[in-house]
Amino acid sequence: MKFSYYPGCTLKTKGKDLDRYGRLCAEALGVTLAELPDWQCCGAVYPMAKDEIATKLSAVRALASSRDEGTELVTLCSACHNVIKQVNHDMQTDADIALRVNNYLGLDTPYTGETTVLHYLEVLRDRVGFDAIKAAVKNPLTGRKIGAYYGCLLLRPGKVMRFDDPENPTILEDFIRAIGAEPVIYAMRNECCGGYIAVEDKGAAVKRSSAVLDNAAAKGADTLVTACPLCLYNLKKNGGRDDVAVVYFTELLAEALGVK
Amino acid sequence: MQRIGVFVCHCGTNIAGTVDVVAVAKALGQEPGVVFSTEYQYMCSESGQQLMRAAIREHKLTGVVVCSCSPRMHEATFRKAAALEGVNPYMVEIANIREHVSWIHKDMAEATEKAVILGRAAIAKVHLNAPLQAGESPVTKRALVIGGGIAGIQTALDIAEAGFEVDIVEKSPTIGGKMAQLDKTFPTLDCAACILTPKMVDAAQNEKINIFAYSELESVKGYIGNFKAQIRRKARFVDETKCTGCGICTEKCPQKKVPNEFNMGLDNRRAIYIPFAQAVPKVATIDANYCTMMKTGKCGICSKVCGTGAIDYTQKDTVIEREYGAIVVATGFNPIDAKVYNEYGYMDSPDVVTSLELERLMNAAGPTNGTLLRPSDKTHPHTIVFVQCVGSRCDETDERGKPYCSKICCMYTAKHAMLIREKYPDTDVYVFYIDVRTPGKNFDEFYRRAVEQYGVHYIKGQVGKVVEQNGKLHVQASDLLANEQLHIDADLVVLATAIEPDKTARSLGTMLTASMDTNDFFTEAHPKLRPVESPTAGIFLSGVCQGPKDIPETVSQASACAAKVIGVLAKDKLTCNPCVAHSDELLCNGCSSCEKVCPYGAISYSDKEFRGPNRTTLIRRVASVNPAVCQGCGACTVACPSGAMDLKGFSNKQIMAEVDAICK
């Protein structure tokens, strides 16, 4: 199983663990992640503006280059995933944006949304399969009570992301079961952590993050897993509790597969 | 050669505004065989018909072409007028120059040309028309009502009142349906049981009404006036003729852990049970999935305590066959499963309940004897949040919800809020709504009373999330009018879940060949003018199976439906449509293609003797059509490879002549 891999800037700086364990686990599961050559910033939040095409260009370069490789494109950071998938959707459904982007880029073959964008978790669920992961687990995390923290970017907008049910997702819970731990269901698991507002209004981020952690703790979680560097940052820095550990899901997977 | 008269209708300006009717009449007057052609302002009016009848007499017409509105509107009118002058009604053809021409075209020259072409096609067809005689079929004077809720009960009572026999088939052990589960009814707040149970008793005591409870429809064959139905009478393991409904068995049964569906699973019942005190028929039923005796062969307590020896563990399902003249669908509704909307925490906390569950929590015969208590800790809730439109009025692409308004939720939520505020004035009640919809007699007054007199907090906005934490329900919502976020700590959250047709409706629709919409509601024959009939002859619709309704509306429709059924049963004979298929035995090669496509089972095959060459006799397998069963759909005429099958009134030759006339 070979995929093009888009790590994104955070995974090379603040979120090195998400990337490092992700690669180790992929290798252990027989998945080849070929990092795209010359990838650029996904565009961060800016491509969400509908009337702006310059900010979408770098995401389209990654998509087109994955198409030229003839492979599906795998992302790991929730934010990059969200941005690239939304830009891909624009290229598939908005003829005006597609035309202007292609005019600007002048690629040999115009890009019109041919690449399939997968999140690492979707590769685990749909390509490897949670049963196969269960079979590959060497150190099952038996007895651990782990809460899934989805945040917003993996799930929404639901019609574009088509990742899981945006209100009642199950993919991370299934993942937690596959690595031998017990998933803790808590209502705040798909609520916002505060996101970038932490930069401007720390109080708001504290309120949001602590509400998530308090709810998870009340339901008995000892650990939360996330796929998002920003969520991890907010929950750790602004969550106000240290009795609930917050880790990347790839780290727990690495632990379970015995490659950490 | 036919002598054809052409009558072009202006339909006021409906047709004449876009079509040059004078030119059409003139052009069609030139067609071969046409001996008279005219136009008139309203052909369907009494004077229009008189004009047509005079022309038939004067010009000795043998065929008539009317260029007017759709044949669905006035074909019958013109056929009757022609018949009065001795012209066979099937010699009348309609060219639809309103719906097919004037209403959809703007340019007069184009529209006029098209009207002439359609008129020519109709003339070409009349040349080949032959007089047809409608047959007759007898009527079985008994009706079948499927579903024993308030809709089915009311329809059955009204049909019985007119002196006809009615069978009610109900799949659960008792009739009564959803209304039996309700506490009070809006807008008068009378108790549901008090007004329903007398009707249930009436139905049980009426000599004309047979109640087949705990029974399901297995198959239906036949057509209007002559349906044959097989009904599966499921084994109760209790002899209905012996059981007196004393209830001793239901008290002594040691299996106490069976979720009680009548109380929405909020408490438990025994394995042998009578759903509620006023059940009809009041007979015990053994739930074989939970009965220890049935599962392990060890117990038999109910059999020992039964004074009349009614318990029979070996009872088997039986299938009975009954004949009917008309069938009423009254299969009702169910609330959707709230678990798909888990953002409201239905699966996370027992204190998030549906409105139907709340009915049971407030009902004196419910699990809490009518005292409103939280299911989790049996304490009195002080802050209650109602969420309206849970699954109603959703986006078309929303897989979880329904696009339609469930219609009853605004009113029952106002009722719940009002009753709670009256009984427990120390309670704070919030209602989150998209719109409050209260059309109906005394409905808006009722809702305003909830707001103005009872101080219920109505907030326009949706609830986004309900988070259960440490026994409290944190409700996150938005107040759209104040444009602010709300956070309410509630003790109880009530979800007004959308209603959907009963799950059995889809398969029943297929069995009855009765059409349904995309939401599985049965379709009426006409949305305004024939609201209680299915397009399939002999099938009638009563209650929510046709669309969301409250009780007053359901009862009105149930009675309307009964009136239509009585109209069928009161006749001794029904006129059959003579436009049915017919097989030319000399052309038939016995391939069975037609038999396979016939949706009504009207075609059968038999071996027949034919004269062969040199005085020999050949035996060939040929098709024949039962004209009483055939509905004239024409599927067989298309399937027949040898051209033996033809539809009277719409023969291949007639249709080709029309096509030729259009393409000329």
| C-beta atoms of A187 and B467 within 8 A | yes
**How far from B584 is each of B472, B588, B596, B600, B629, CA to CA, in Å?**
78, 6, 18, 20, 18
Identity of the residue in A159, A187, A214 whose CB atom sits nearest the CB atom of B345: A187
Which domain CATH number covers A165?
A: 3.40.50
Structural domain includes residue B461: yes
Which domain CATH number covers B437?
A: 3.50.50.60
Percent over 90 (pLDDT), chain B: 92
pLDDT tops 90 at residue A75: yes
Which of A152, A155, A188 is best to mutate for the B interface (most B CBs within 10 A)? A188
Establish how many alpha carbons lie within 13 A of residue B232's alpha carbon, considering only the half-sphere containing its beta carbon: 10
Angle at B635 between CA B634 and CA B639, to 5 degrees: 120
pLDDT tops 90 at residue B134: no
Residue B399's pLDDT is: 84
DSSP letters spanning B486-552: EEEEESEEEEEE-EEE-TTHHHHHHHHT--B-TTSPBPPSBTTTBTTB-SSTTEEE-GGGGS---HH
- Exposure string over B202-211, b if 16+ CB within 10 A, otherwise e: bbbebebbbb
Bridge partner list, B490? B473
Which domain CATH number covers B103?
A: 3.40.50
Structural domain includes residue B447: yes
**Spatial separation of the C-alpha atoms in residues A187 and B492, rounded to whole Å:** 16
B475 touches chain A (CB under 8 A): no
Angle at A231 between CA A226 and CA A236, to 5 degrees: 95
* Residues A240, A160 within the same domain: yes
B585 touches chain A (CB under 8 A): no
The number of folded domains in chain B is 5
Structural domain includes residue A125: no
Residues of chain A positioned with their CB less than 8 A from the CB of B467: 187-188, 215
**Spatial separation of the C-alpha atoms in residues B570 and B59, rounded to whole Å:** 40
Residue B379's pLDDT is: 96
Which domain CATH number covers A90?
A: 1.20.1050.140
* Residues of A contacting chain B (CB within 8 angstroms): 159, 167-168, 185, 187-188, 191, 214-215, 218
* Residues B369, B452 within the same domain: yes
Residue A73's pLDDT is: 97
Q: What mean pLDDT comes out for the span B509-516?
A: 92
* Residues B17, B92 within the same domain: yes
| Tally of CB atoms within 10 A around B435 | 11
* Residues A74, A167 within the same domain: no
pLDDT tops 90 at residue B601: no
pLDDT tops 80 at residue A50: no
| Tally of CB atoms within 10 A around B471 | 12
* Residues B328, B203 within the same domain: yes
* Residues B387, B495 within the same domain: yes
The number of folded domains in chain A is 2
pLDDT tops 90 at residue B398: no
Q: What mean pLDDT comes out for the span A40-58?
A: 86
| C-beta atoms of B343 and A214 within 8 A | no
| C-beta atoms of B465 and A214 within 8 A | no
- A60: closest CA among A88, A26, A29? A88
**Spatial separation of the C-alpha atoms in residues B32 and B3, rounded to whole Å:** 9
Structural domain includes residue B136: no
The Cα of B264 is separated from the nearest Cα of chain A by a number of Å equal to 24
Residue B664's pLDDT is: 84
B462 touches chain A (CB under 8 A): no
- H-type alpha helices, B85-130: 108-128
Angle at B327 between CA B323 and CA B328, to 5 degrees: 145
Q: A81, A99, A120: which is the final residue of a domain?
A: A120
- Quote the tokens at residue B91: 């010699």
**Spatial separation of the C-alpha atoms in residues B143 and B564, rounded to whole Å:** 11
pLDDT tops 80 at residue B640: yes
- Quote the tokens at residue B468: 């259960």
Residue B253's pLDDT is: 96
Burial class (CB in 10 A: 0-12, 13-18, 19+), B191: middle
Strands B226-233 and B215-223: antiparallel
* Residues B345, B491 within the same domain: yes
Establish how many alpha carbons lie within 13 A of residue B515's alpha carbon, considering only the half-sphere containing its beta carbon: 10
Amino acid at B302: C
Please report the ipTM that was assigned to this predicted complex: 0.87
* Residues B161, B207 within the same domain: yes
pLDDT digits (tens, 9 = 90+) for A170-196: 999 999 999 999 999 999 999 999 999
pTM (2 d.p.) = 0.86
Residue B294's pLDDT is: 94
Residue B403's pLDDT is: 96
Angle at B7 between CA B5 and CA B13, to 5 degrees: 170
* Residues A191, A152 within the same domain: yes
* Residues A144, A249 within the same domain: yes
The Cα of A218 is separated from the nearest Cα of chain B by a number of Å equal to 7
Whether B246 contacts B282, CB under 8 Å: no
Structural domain includes residue A216: yes
Residues of chain A positioned with their CB less than 8 A from the CB of B466: 187
Structural domain includes residue B243: no
pLDDT tops 90 at residue A48: no
Band (pLDDT 50/70/90 cuts) for residue B591 is very high
Contacts of B47 by beta carbon, 8 Å cutoff, 6+ apart: none
The Cα of A155 is separated from the nearest Cα of chain B by a number of Å equal to 14
pLDDT tops 90 at residue B628: no
Strands B209-212 and B190-191: unpaired
How high is the mean pLDDT of chain B? 95
- A17: closest CA among A256, A179, A252? A252
pLDDT tops 90 at residue B130: yes
* Residues A153, A206 within the same domain: yes
Domain that includes residue A237, residue range: 132-257
Residue B651's pLDDT is: 93
Burial class (CB in 10 A: 0-12, 13-18, 19+), B588: buried
pLDDT tops 90 at residue B602: no
Domain that includes residue B357, residue range: 335-499
pLDDT tops 80 at residue B629: no
**How far from A63 is each of A32, A94, A119, B280, B585, CA to CA, in Å?**
18, 16, 14, 67, 67
Band (pLDDT 50/70/90 cuts) for residue B316 is very high
| C-beta atoms of B397 and A185 within 8 A | no
Angle at A10 between CA A6 and CA A12, to 5 degrees: 75
Band (pLDDT 50/70/90 cuts) for residue A47 is confident
Residue B429's pLDDT is: 98
**Spatial separation of the C-alpha atoms in residues B631 and B605, rounded to whole Å:** 18
- Quote the tokens at residue B82: 């022609």
Residue B422's pLDDT is: 96
* Residues A142, A252 within the same domain: yes
pLDDT tops 90 at residue B570: yes
* Residues B90, B121 within the same domain: yes
| C-beta atoms of B469 and A159 within 8 A | no
* Residues A177, A66 within the same domain: no
B469 touches chain A (CB under 8 A): yes
Structural domain includes residue B133: no
* Residues B347, B480 within the same domain: yes
The residue in chain A having the minimum alpha-carbon distance to the alpha carbon of residue B339 is: A168
B487 touches chain A (CB under 8 A): no
Structural domain includes residue B63: yes
Q: A120, A143, A161: which is the final residue of a domain?
A: A120
Band (pLDDT 50/70/90 cuts) for residue A45 is confident
Which of B469, B485, B495 is best to mutate for the A interface (most A CBs within 10 A)? B469
Q: A99, A120, A141: which is the final residue of a domain?
A: A120
Band (pLDDT 50/70/90 cuts) for residue B136 is confident
**Spatial separation of the C-alpha atoms in residues B185 and B178, rounded to whole Å:** 12
Band (pLDDT 50/70/90 cuts) for residue B163 is very high
- Quote the tokens at residue A132: 């196969």
